[in-house]
Amino acid sequence: MSTARYGSDVIVDALQKLGIRHVAFNPGASFRGLHDSLVNYADGTPQILEVQHEKIAVAMAHGYAKVTGEPMAVITHDLVGLLHATLGVYYAFVDRVPVLILGGTGPMDAAQRRPWIDWVHTANVENTAVRDYTKWDDHPASVEAFPDAIVRAFQVSTSAPAGPVFVAVDAALQEQSLDGATVEVHAATPASSSIGPDPAALERVAQSLVEAHRPVLVAGYLARTPGAWDDLLALAELLPAAVVDTDIRLNFPTIHELNVPASQVLDDADLVVLLDIKDIADHTGLLSKESRGQRPSLAPGARLVDIGFGDLGMSAWSADAGSWFQADERVLADTAVALPLLLQRCRELLEGTQRPHADSWRTTVAQRHQAVRNGWAQQAHEKHDADPCSVPRLVQEVGKAIEEHDWVLTAGTANEWALRLWDFDKPYRHVGRSLGTSTQIGISLGVALAHRGSGKLVVDLQPDGDLLFDAGALWVASRHRLPLLVVMVNNRAYNNDWGHQRSIAKVRGNDPDRAHIGIVIEDPAPDFATLARSFSWYAEGPITDPADIADAVRRAADVVLNQGLPALVDIVCEAEA
């Protein structure tokens, strides 16, 4: 083995100093030097994860970070690999997760480029492909500049609000011999401390909360940090307050009596506190497309308070922050700091007080919580014998099979039926709802990687259309022994768009029965079990009889837990209107 040192070895030194445990990539010549260093210089750390598509690599890092809070490294091939990765990078930005992306580039010195291939794969500057939806990027021009660029990228990525970062690493610099020169790599300092609230503003919010008769807390990205689940639970119990969980992260126990959908409490609230919310309309109904920019629709005299990052981290390019809205109080702060302080102050203000209205509000919220859950159970019961299997029945049968285990749900919730019918009693049970199609299987791989060796059963309620974008992800799980149970929610259609096409057809006076054209995934219907077995997965299906679901899922779970291997159960279900 060579004893010489190269520029790419310096990159590995930096990754190791940062504590990066995994690096995912699809191989490419523009980082052949770094690839060689990871194989022959790094001595197994970070672990190489070979993937079939750069977007899957970023999505894996996305899912991993949602569980651990730590970034993985991803390497992309010069320009074309980065362009493959862009959707994954965008969703990591939207979802506020740290990802460290290194991109092979160039050689930027045109005199060192091979004919055609190095030219067609080189951009001036490739960073611009993701600059609008990364927190920061850099293009170091020397080996000596590599360490500072990578360490700074890591620190920017992990400082709240977190997000993906990109560093281009020139191919020629990777392969440059150091000729005995020493390039010092400093250990990273901790991420910047979190932003605390203005004490006077926090005092006003605490006073408003203890004086309110019908307070509601709306939780967004809150549970991205440890402790937020317990603090929100304690605050809601103390006041008491209804909690609307948007499921951007799993913020609150689903069967707790204070957990109520927005539609059941917001109209009656006299105080609404938004906790780390970007888009106020998302899962709240407080704004419509007609009311954007106005004061949200609340009861007369109700106050609206917003605690979160506000305009920090907002993109000039992406509109993911949603509509601007009017609020009575805006507190710029990381809820990781603001929430425990708010809880402490409310405890102090309430000590020894008598609040007869508090019991009345708690009773009202609890009754609405139970009525909603009874309604969901009734809907599931009414469709119990549907043929094909209804989505609620599918979720119920899977729930029976996994309830004896310590389980974790990845991105998909089967049109929210899992949240309605399962007991999410711990913060790690779910990493937060899915993002767009062509992201869920990759995120699920990252969640499985993060929980590998934990003994937890990682379950993916996997949409069929999503998996068809990234079938190569199945090879990744098998190759790297990721313990993942995939349950196909196989409605053989792009169901969300089917609903849109039916709606537009009705508005235009067209036949809604023709809305399936260009939507259904049939003729042929994919056989996902056979597909999975071709990648050495344990697989069963397609299952069409709901009575067979629970036993099949139990057998698959046994493979995942006892052999540490991925397993898939393909269940054919109806497409919901």
Nearest Cα residue to 474 out of 488, 456, 494, 457: 488
- Three-state DSSP at 205 gives helix
Give tens-digit pLDDT for 503-519. 899 999 999 889 889 98
Q: Exposure pattern of 561-574 as b/e (b: 16+ CB <10 Å)?
A: beeebbbbbbbbbb
Tokens 């011999």 belong to residue:
177
161 vs 519, residue with greater confidence: 161
CB 117: neighbour CB atoms within 10 A? 12
Q: What are the residues whose beta carbons fall under 8 Å from the beta carbon of 73, sequence distance 6 or more? A: 15, 20, 22, 23, 24, 46, 61, 100, 101, 102
Q: Select the more confidently predicted residue: 167 or 296.
A: 167
Q: pLDDT (tens digit, 9 = 90+) per residue, 91-142?
A: 999 999 999 999 999 898 899 998 988 888 888 899 999 999 999 999 999 9
Q: What is the pTM of this model?
A: 0.96
> What domains lie within the chain, and their CATH numbers?
7-174 (3.40.50.970), 199-369 (3.40.50.1220), 383-572 (3.40.50.970)
Q: At residue 211, does pLDDT exceed 70? A: yes
What is the per-residue pLDDT for 192? 79
Which string of DSSP letters, residue by residue, matches 223-266? GGSTTHHHHHHHHHHHTT-EEEE-SSS--S-TTSTTB--HHHHG
pLDDT score recorded for residue 180: 80
pLDDT of residue 437: 86
Q: What CA–CA distance (Å, rounded) separates 122 from 176?
A: 19
In angstroms, the CA 492 to CA 383 distance is 19
493-502, 544-553, 561-570: least confident range: 493-502
Percent of the chain with pLDDT over 70: 98
Q: What are phi and psi of 105, to 5 degrees?
A: -150, 155
Whether the Cβ atoms of residue 550 and residue 400 lie closer than 8 Å to each other: yes
Instruction: Indicate the residue type of 527.
Output: D
Q: Confidence class of residue 344 from pLDDT cuts 50, 70 and 90?
A: very high
What's the helix, strand, coil split of the chain in %, to 5?
45, 15, 40
pLDDT at 190: 66
Which two structure tokens, joined as six digits, stand for 403?
A: 């309830």
Q: What is the mean pLDDT of residues 322-330?
A: 90
User: Does residue 445 surpass a pLDDT of 60?
Assistant: yes
Question: Would the pLDDT of 189 be above 90?
Answer: no
State the DSSP string of 118-151.
HHHT--TTGGGGTGGGSSEEE---SGGGHHHHHH
Mean pLDDT (the chain) is 94
User: Predicted confidence band at 1 (pLDDT cuts at 50, 70, 90)?
Assistant: low
Give 64-91 pLDDT, tens digit per residue: 999 999 999 999 999 999 999 999 999 9
Summarize the confidence of residues 546-551 as an average pLDDT: 97
